[in-house]
Amino acid sequence: MNLVVEVSLPKEIVQMILESAKTLHPKETIFLLRGKTRRDMISISEIVIPPLATYGNGFANLPTRMMPIDFSIIGTAHSHPSGSLALSVQDLNHALGKIILVTAHPYNGLEYCAVYNRKGEKLRLRVT
């Protein structure tokens, strides 16, 4: 059994997510995340902007059927302009990949970020 407990991602990717969230606020920002699973850890290596039509329209509107089949997509990141770090039912129902990263308003650093698995369980977040 592989149980992921930790997600590591480069500082530059965290900064890009936070800055994009600030720029688009009060709309939602959304990114796809690429990376690898190793034992109990997921390492994010790349951030991908989803199709332009959906950008800023919210995570729940991400048209999953229009997405290219890409097994390197390991999860998604999106913002919560409401300021809540908790996942919504829509977040869990529309999850892509293995992890869901959320950043909440005012997006001022790691304490405004949380990462979950698809069951909605919180994982450790490590910035490298």
- Three-state SS for the chain is CCCCCEEEECHHHHHHHHHHHHHHCCCECEEEEEEEEECCEEEEEEEECCCHHHCCECHHHCCHHHCCCCCCEEEEEEEECCCCCCCCHHHHHCCCCCEEEEEECCCCCHHHEEEEECCCCEEEEEEC
Site for Zn ion in 65-84 (CB under 5 A): none
Minimum CB distance to Zn ion smaller for 37 or for 88: 88
The alpha carbon of residue 104 and the mean position of all alpha carbons in its chain are separated, in whole angstroms, by: 11
Residue 45 vs 57, nearer CB to Zn ion: 57
Alpha carbon separation from 40 to 2, 6, 14, 36, 104 (Å, rounded): 6, 7, 21, 11, 26
Contact region for Zn ion (CB under 5 A) — 15-23, 45-53, 59-67, 117-125? 59-67
- Residue 59 Cβ, how far from Zn ion at the closest point, in Å? 5
Stretch that binds Zn ion, among 16-24, 51-59, 66-74, 110-118 (CB under 5 A): 51-59
By CB under 5 A, residue 91 contacts Zn ion: yes
Shorter beta-carbon distance to Zn ion: residue 61 or 88: 88
Asked whether position 112 contacts Zn ion by CB under 5 A, the answer is no
Least Å distance between CB 122 and Zn ion?
A: 14
CB of 2 to Zn ion, least distance (A): 25
Footprint of Zn ion (CB under 5 A) = 59, 88, 91
